[in-house]
Amino acid sequence: MSEKTTPEPQALGDDSAHVAADTQVPGGTTAEAVASDVVLDTAGGQMPPSAVPAATQRRGRDHDRDGGGSVLHQIFTGNAMVSFLSVLLAIVLGGILMAVTNPKVALAAGYFFAQPGDLLTEVIRPYTALVQGSIFNWAGADLAAQLYPITETLTVATPLICAGLGVALGFRAGLFNIGAQGQIIFGALFGAYIGFAWHLPIGLHLLLVILAGLVGGAVWGGVVGLLKARTGAHEVIVTIMLNYIANFLLLFLLTTPAFQRKGSTNPISPFLDSTALFPELLGPQFRLHAGFLVAVAATVLVWWLLNRSTIGFEFRAVGANPSAARTAGINVARSTILVMAIAGALAGLAGVAQVSGTEKYLSGGVAASIGFDAITVALLGRSTPWGTFFAGLLFGAFRAGGVAMQAQTQTPIDIVLVIQSLIVLFIAAPPLVRAIFGLNPRKKKTTTSGTAGSRTGGVKSGAAA
């Protein structure tokens, strides 16, 4: 009994899974839809299943379909409740973590019954700092200081959104692109070189830098597509290796005089010309730059590409089932190369946002861990363009707020990252939250409970036993 009460299709994105399942297939029951999915996915068992779950690939259309009815529907099935509980759970768990690791909290816990407020204050302060560092700082001296956090969130989110879009695009085409890191590095490398080595008039220079970044990323991503399409090499191993190659190539280039400042042997490139930089949107005291607008434009473009264009339809078809797509007359090889090139170009754009937006020079750590965070962003955004956009904003807020958590409350950065990862984990895995609180939305939804149960029942009971 208990197995059937807590089944969920997947850790990620189950809500839209059943929303999609409810609305998507006219006529047939969802069980048939799922069964046909599996058959399509593996060509009746003759093909190995795709590395990316079919359910992830199908996510795209939710956005067009999310009408008011489905919002109500979600509330009634307890999703708002689950979201609230996930954040609550993360906050409580994070609080316990801080209590264990922070001597001040431990001290306050020691006299909890004498002054209970102290413990609460010590535990709540880091969360307050998180909000103050990412959204609005009500303690700021002037309006600029109060608004600084939200601009910082947007700034940090910019490269995450661009690279996340690239990863999401790959997912939708059935490619597990974990090469965003290398593609960002190449975009940054190309863009930065044009930025500091060439001296061009304003406007043209930035345009060429962006173009170079797009080309750099597209080349590095396109190589993956080419290898996959021509030789069948698996994109995961190829992208991992290309990440290493890009990283060490960057480190090597930074030891050569062409990429170093005059009279210095430190591995840092000269500053980009001011003509090559994204204009600051709100003046010099904020880091927010026009790259954010480019990221918004990229989101719209990817949405259009996936949902309104023929190429995007081909990408999704290839992602759902390459064999069926080939049978239907789609050039799978061409699609694979193209999707990786576009994904690479988007990641390259993230690289440009780094060198032309925030860093203004090229260093070994210019890509930080954006390429890997982008994978989480894309998954959290359920591989939809706007989902990725908002997941990028969330991550940006965490990164920006993490600085304040550290600076204001002296919470160690590692604990900050653990707490943030917990929040993401719970947001991304509502089934876990439902299981923990013993919530069971399926009881109210007799139509789908059977489906979901039969879909994953075997796996679940195997795991539970």
Partner 1 sequence: MKKSLRAGFKRGSMAGVATAGAAAFLLAGCGAPPSSSGGSSAAPKSDYTACMVSDSGGFDDKSFNQSGYEGLQSAVKDLGIQEKHVQSKADTDYDPNLRSMVQQGCKLTVTVGFLLGDATKSIATANPNSHFAIIDYNDPTFPKNVKPIVYDTAQAAFLAGYLAAGTSKTGKVATFGGINIPTVTIFMDGFADGVKYYNEKKGKNVQLIGWDKDKQDGTFVGDFKQVDKGKVLTQGFLDQGADIVLPVAGPVGGGAGSAILDAKSKGKDAKLIWVDSDGYLTAPDYKSVILSSVQKTMATAVESVIKDDKDGKFDASPYIGTLANGGVALAPFHDLDSAVPADLKSELDQLKKDIISGTVKVESKSSPTK
- Asked whether position 407 contacts partner 1 by CB under 8 A, the answer is yes
CB neighbour class for 244 (10 Å; exposed up to 12, middle 13-18, buried from 19): exposed
- Rounded distance between C-alpha atoms, residue 312 and residue 189, angstroms: 29
Which position among 271, 372, 390, 437 is part of the footprint of partner 1 (CB under 8 A)? 271
Q: Does 243 bind partner 1 (CB under 8 A)?
A: no
Interface residue with partner 1 among 404, 419, 422, 433 (CB under 8 A) is 404
**Dihedral sign, Cα of residue 28, residue 34, residue 35, residue 38:** positive
Give the integer Cα–Cα distance in Å for 292 and 396: 12
CA separation (Å) from 310 to 167, 300, 314? 20, 16, 6
Nearer to partner 1 among residue 122 and residue 235 (C-beta): 122
CB 172 within 8 A of CB 60: yes
Return the residues of window 201-220 that contact partner 1 according to CB under 8 A. none
Min dist CB 100 to partner 1, Å, is 12
Closest CA to 182 of 443, 372, 412: 372
Give the distance, in angstroms, between the CA of residue 278 and the centroid of all CA atoms in the same chain.
23
Helices (runs of H) and strands (runs of E) counted in the chain: 22, 0
Q: Does 274 contact partner 1 by CB under 8 A?
A: no
Q: State which residue, 232 or 438, has the beta carbon closest to partner 1.
A: 438
Q: What is the CA radius of gyration of the chain?
A: 24
Q: Does residue 241 touch partner 1 according to CB under 8 A?
A: no
- Tell me whether residue 188 or residue 345 sits nearer to partner 1 (CB atom): 188
Q: Least separation, in Å, of the C-beta of 448 and partner 1?
A: 22
By CB under 8 A, tell whether 249 contacts partner 1.
no
> Within positions 141 to 180, which residues make up the interface with partner 1, using CB under 8 A?
145, 148, 152, 156
Angle of helix 116-134 versus helix 79-101 axis, rounded to 10: 110
Q: Is 268 in the site for partner 1 (CB under 8 A)?
A: yes
* Neighbouring C-beta atoms of residue 260, cutoff 10 Å: 17
Q: Is 408 in the site for partner 1 (CB under 8 A)?
A: yes
Q: Do the Cβ atoms of 419 and 90 come closer than 8 Å?
A: yes
Beta strand extents in 130-206 (DSSP E only)? none
353 contacts 162 by C-beta, under 8 angstroms: yes
- Alpha carbon dihedral 136, 139, 145, 147, in 10-degree steps, equals 20
Using CB under 8 A as the binding rule, whether residue 266 contacts partner 1 is answered as: yes
Least spacing, CB of residue 43 vs partner 1, in Å: 37
Locus of tokens 């999704």: 316
Instruction: Determine, following the binding rule CB under 8 A, whether residue 38 of this chain makes contact with partner 1.
Output: no
* Number of residues binding to partner 1, judged by CB under 8 A: 51
CB of residue 390 to partner 1, shortest distance in Å? 21
Smallest gap from residue 322 Cβ to partner 1 (A): 37
Which one, 6 or 42, has the nearer CB to partner 1? 6
Question: What DSSP element (H or E) covers 130?
Answer: helix 116-134
Q: What amino acid is encoded at 274 in this protein?
A: S
Q: What is the smallest separation between the CB atom of 363 and partner 1, expressed in angstroms? A: 5
CB of 78 to partner 1, least distance (A): 20
Options 162-170, 211-219, 266-274, 331-339: segment touching partner 1 (CB under 8 A): 266-274
| Among 72, 80, 255, 327, contact with partner 1 (rule: CB under 8 A) | 255
The separation between the first and the last C-alpha atoms of the chain, rounded to the nearest angstrom, is 13
Cβ pair 325, 332 in contact under 8 A:
yes
265 counts as binding partner 1 under rule CB under 8 A? yes
In the complex, minimum distance from the CB of residue 41 to partner 1, in angstroms, rounded to a whole number? 31
Query: Does residue 107 touch partner 1 according to CB under 8 A?
Result: yes
1 binds partner 1 (CB under 8 A): yes
Q: Considering the rule CB under 8 A, would residue 114 count as an interface residue with partner 1?
A: yes
When the beta carbons of 148 and 426 are compared against partner 1, the nearer one is 148
214-230 burial by CB neighbour count: b if 16+ within 10 A, else e? bbbbbbbbbbbbbbbbe
By the rule CB under 8 A, 457 interacts with partner 1: no
Residues 276 to 295 in contact with partner 1, rule: CB under 8 A = 284-285, 287
Q: Measured between alpha carbons, how far is 197 from 54 in angstroms, rounded to an integer?
A: 46
Q: Does 410 bind partner 1 (CB under 8 A)?
A: yes
115 scored as a contact of partner 1 (CB under 8 A): yes
Residue 400 near partner 1 by CB under 8 A:
yes
* CA trace torsion 50, 54, 59, 61 (10° rounding): 110
| Closer residue to partner 1 (CB): 299 or 411 | 411
Q: Which residue has the tokens 């080349």?
A: 219
Contact call for residue 248 and partner 1 (CB under 8 A): yes
437 binds partner 1 (CB under 8 A): no
Q: Give me the residues that bind partner 1 (CB under 8 A), please.
A: 1-3, 107, 109-115, 118, 133, 145, 148, 152, 156, 248, 251, 255, 265-268, 271, 284-285, 287, 354, 358-361, 363-366, 368-370, 400, 403-404, 406-408, 410, 412-413, 417, 438
